[in-house]
Amino acid sequence: MSQPTTTPGDDEHKLAPTRIRDLLAVAVVAGALLYVTARYYYGSFPSLPWLAGLMLYIVAVLLVVVAFLVRARVAAGNVGPAPGQLHPINVARAFALARASALLGAIAVGGWLGLLVFLLGRRYLDVAVADTPATIVGAIGGVFLVAAALWLEHCCRTPDDPTPEPSVPSADPA
């Protein structure tokens, strides 16, 4: 039996799913950086905006809507260059959007949590108490954004190849 021939660099061009450990590493680095920044410069920060955290929820909802649209088209086999089909380049664009959004969500989660840890250690300051709810909203919004991005990325996968059905010998009474 001959082995299928593959080029040595074939695996390096495949798009692999985003790894959770990579997102966790990004979140930890972002959290540490924002904690250190807040420690030295919190007095010059403006009050934390609720809108920044709320925008993460809006983007997450949009990603979920796109994910369901892509999933429906992929499941129905309506992916292709014909009119009325979802063009493959648009699936690739949705995948790239999912990747970027997962990274943004990880940065947001880490940043908001780093700031939250800083604020919880300074509960004696009225401004820290006032900023705490906005950091919680932002951190949860970041988690939702990561989850929505990973769902969109999952929906962009091609369906598994169908397994060949075993051939059943026909019983021709001849």
Q: Would you kindly state where each structural domain of the chain is located, as residue ranges?
A: 31-155
Q: What's residue 161's pLDDT?
A: 46
> Mean pLDDT score of the chain, rounded to an integer?
85
54/39 Cα distance (integer angstroms): 25
The stretch 111-118 carries a mean pLDDT of 94
48/38 Cα distance (integer angstroms): 12
Going 137 to 143 to 146 to 149, the CA torsion angle's sign is negative
pLDDT at 29 over 90: yes
20/14 Cα distance (integer angstroms): 18
Query: Which two tokens mark 59?
Result: 């983007």
pLDDT at 62 over 60: yes
Instruction: Kindly report, residue by residue over 116-173, the tens digit of the pLDDT.
Output: 999 998 888 888 888 899 999 999 999 999 999 999 999 988 776 455 555 555 555 5
145/139 Cα distance (integer angstroms): 10
Query: Which two tokens mark 44?
Result: 């010059």
Query: Among 12-16, 31-35, 153-157, whose mean pLDDT is lowest?
Result: 12-16
Sorting pLDDT into bands at 50, 70 and 90, what band is 94? very high
18/114 Cα distance (integer angstroms): 23
Query: In this structure, how many other beta carbons lie within 10 angstroms of the beta carbon of residue 145?
Result: 27
